[in-house]
Amino acid sequence: MSYSRWGYSYWYTYWVYKSNENYDTATFCICRFEGNILFTAKMLREKFDKCLDTVRMKDTASEEEIEELARYMTRFLKEVDIDYLEAK
């Protein structure tokens, strides 16, 4: 599932589906021309701000764009919860 696309956002982000994923290993991808950045749901839940700092170091995004990215990351985590916790 895509959360943002370059046509209307600085970011292109999506949930990378893997057949063997689980609640912790579900993966969020941030596409960049210089290479993708991947975070698992567990990484985002446990170290959300540190993950954003990683993006800050690897990208020239403005703080407003980082805040936008944080919203997409939060939405991803909510959808992981829905798929893995509420579905049971």
CA distances from 47 to 19, 44, 50, 73, 88 (A): 25, 5, 5, 12, 26
* pLDDT (tens digit per residue) in 45-84: 999 999 999 999 999 999 999 999 999 999 999 999 999 9
Question: H-helix or E-strand containing 37?
Answer: strand 37-40
Q: What percent of the chain has pLDDT over 70?
A: 94
Residue 10 has pLDDT above 90, yes or no: no
Each domain of the chain, given as residue ranges in start order, spans 2-83
Least confident range of 7-11, 23-27, 50-54: 7-11
